[in-house]
């Protein structure tokens, strides 16, 4: 039996989101439904190709900052998953930026918070009934039952990015991911009792448009480890901040 039921991922037009869809669709324990959302699915030839050629891959329009778009996506996903509900929501979509004390602007801060911190909360709220449906059908804790995975960043770790040890200071990005980590903790407190696992997960430094060409990991390496880690999560990992290999990170 597959470890996965139905999985929804945000930001699948490129980068880590697209690779999650690709590797899940190639997996021997392929989820029943891989709901690959993007704000403009038609603009990603790679996503179009996956949804055309891989059974169970559904390309769905979702701009994580638009209430109307979220509402439409929930209706569409409800139709796809039916009474089985949604087992795993991966909040992956984000915007990156580098902003020093000299260059940071109000607009950059607000944009980062809107996409990276506020949107994952409201996307989760909107899909909660579908996650609860899935949670009610199973026992234990993990992606087999119901889970919210917030793709965070080590740059959101306050204890690892303080003082002289901070190598990359981005006011907008770092603070938005620290806020996302708090969202994960709050969700963990609220959703744990109904059996929904909640975690923040750092994917490593990855060669994508955001990570750049000098990053440590290829997107294939990162996603392969992320998927192994996700299926290994149990109650013990609930409310944690983990990296792609499942190691605990300090907040
Ligand atoms: P990319 O920049 O390659 O991709 C970002 C994705 O987010 C794109 O699909 C983009 O869509 C989507 N997106 C942005 N805004 C919205 C929106 N409003 N609605 C829907 N989708 C949106 O980033 P990565 O793949 O590298 O990053 C994925 C995740 O991993 C992010 O959460 C990031 O913060 C995190 N991360 C990445 C690291 C790295 O080294 N790469 C390191 C640490 C964390 P579109 O094509 O439409 O713009």
Specify the pLDDT at position 193: 97
| CATH entry 3.40.50.720 includes domain 6-243 | yes
- Ligand 1 proximity of 209 Cβ (cutoff 6 Å): yes
Specify the pLDDT at position 98: 84
- Ligand 1 proximity of 64 Cβ (cutoff 6 Å): yes
User: Which residue is closest in CA terms to ligand 1's atom 29?
Assistant: 92
Strand-pair partners of 243: 202
Phi then psi dihedrals of residue 104, to 5 deg: -65, 140
Domain ranges of the chain: 6-243
Q: Mean pLDDT throughout 135-153?
A: 97
- Distance between CA atoms of 5 and 140, rounded to whole angstroms? 14
3 state DSSP class of 247: coil
- Ligand 1 proximity of 151 Cβ (cutoff 6 Å): yes
Which of 118, 179, 210, 245 to mutate to test ligand 1, by most ligand atoms within 8 A of the CB atom? Answer: 210
Does residue 108 come out as left (phi exceeding 0), alpha (psi in the -120 to 50 range) or beta? alpha
Which DSSP category does 82 fall into?
Answer: G
pLDDT surpassing 60 at residue 110: yes
Specify the pLDDT at position 3: 81
Q: What is the pLDDT of residues 33-86, one digit of tens each?
A: 999 999 999 999 999 999 999 999 999 999 999 999 999 999 999 999 999 999
pLDDT surpassing 80 at residue 167: no
ipTM attached to this prediction: 0.99
Does residue 82 come out as left (phi exceeding 0), alpha (psi in the -120 to 50 range) or beta? left
- Ligand 1 proximity of 16 Cβ (cutoff 6 Å): yes
> Is the CB of residue 249 less than 8 Å from the CB of residue 152?
no
pLDDT band, very low/low/confident/very high, at 168 (cuts 50, 70, 90): low
- Distance between CA atoms of 84 and 128, rounded to whole angstroms? 13
Q: Report the nearest atom of ligand 1 relative to the CA of 64.
A: 19
Strand-pair partners of 38: 61
Q: What is the pLDDT of residues 196-220, one digit of tens each?
A: 999 999 999 999 999 999 999 999 9
- Ligand 1 proximity of 32 Cβ (cutoff 6 Å): no
Which of 8, 9, 15, 160 to mutate to test ligand 1, by most ligand atoms within 8 A of the CB atom? Answer: 15
Q: What is the pLDDT of residues 120-133, one digit of tens each?
A: 999 999 999 999 99
Q: What is the pLDDT of residues 1-35, one digit of tens each?
A: 568 899 999 999 999 999 999 999 999 999 999 99
């Amino acid at each position: 039996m597959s470890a996965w039921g139905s999985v929804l991922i945000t930001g699948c037009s490129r980068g880590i989101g697209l690779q999650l869809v690709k590797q899940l669709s190639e997996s021997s324990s392929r989820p029943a439904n891989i709901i690959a959302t993007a704000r403009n699915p038609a603009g990603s030839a790679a996503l179009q190709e996956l949804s055309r050629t891989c059974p169970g891959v559904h390309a769905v329009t979702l701009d994580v900052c638009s209430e109307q778009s979220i509402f439409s996506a929930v209706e569409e996903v409800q139709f796809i998953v039916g009474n089985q509900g949604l087992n795993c929501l991966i909040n992956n979509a984000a915007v990156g930026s580098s902003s020093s004390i000299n260059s940071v602007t109000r607009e950059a801060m607000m944009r980062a918070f809107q996409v990276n911190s506020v949107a994952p909360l409201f996307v989760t709220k909107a899909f909660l009934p579908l996650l609860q449906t899935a949670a009610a059908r199973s026992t234990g804790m993990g992606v087999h039952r119901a889970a919210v995975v917030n793709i965070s960043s080590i740059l959101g770790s306050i204890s690892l990015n303080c003082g002289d040890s901070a190598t990359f200071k981005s006011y907008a990005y770092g603070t938005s991911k620290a806020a996302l980590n708090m969202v994960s903790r709050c969700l963990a407190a609220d959703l744990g009792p109904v059996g929904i696992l909640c975690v923040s997960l750092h994917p490593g430094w990855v060669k994508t448009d955001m990570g750049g060409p000098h990053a440590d990991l290829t997107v294939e390496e990162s996603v392969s480890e992320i998927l192994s880690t996700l299926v290994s999560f149990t109650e013990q990992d609930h409310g944690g901040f983990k990296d792609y290999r499942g190691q605990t990170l300090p907040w």
